[in-house]
Structure 1
Amino acid sequence: MKPLMMKMRTDCLRFLLALQLLVSGLFKLWHELRKGRRISGVKHKPS
């Protein structure tokens, strides 16, 4: 493989990894906010 192709591939993988981390972080934050909001509101089934 050409060096440029390898660099492009690693950059792409790094970008995908960062995107995955960002998405999981946002999902966790959203989940926490929903959980926090629900405590003061409607009672839900205990997990």
Structure 2
Amino acid sequence: MIPWDLIKGGMRHHISEHMIICRPVSENTYFVLRLTLSYLSTQLTWEEM
């Protein structure tokens, strides 16, 4: 059995550290874009319903 939860958690932790330390500007921009996209998609789905 492969502990996928542990691997995902470790990857997420590694990625968050990378975001904080290495490239905060570009990563934060990507994060904001992703938040905006998810927000827009939820708005669209709500309007469809």
Q: TM-score range by the shorter chain?
A: 0.5 to 0.7
- Count of equivalent residues: 30
Identity of aligned residues (%): 20
CA radius of gyration, larger in: 1
Q: Which has the higher contact order (CA 8 A, sep 6+)?
A: 2
Q: Which runs of 5+ in 1 are unaligned?
A: 34-47
Q: Which runs of 5+ in 2 are unaligned?
A: 1-19
Structure with bigger helix share is: 2
TM-score, reference length from structure 1: 0.57
- Tell me how large the CA RMSD over aligned residues is: 2.0
TM-score, reference length from structure 2: 0.55
Deviating 4+ runs (over 3 angstroms): none
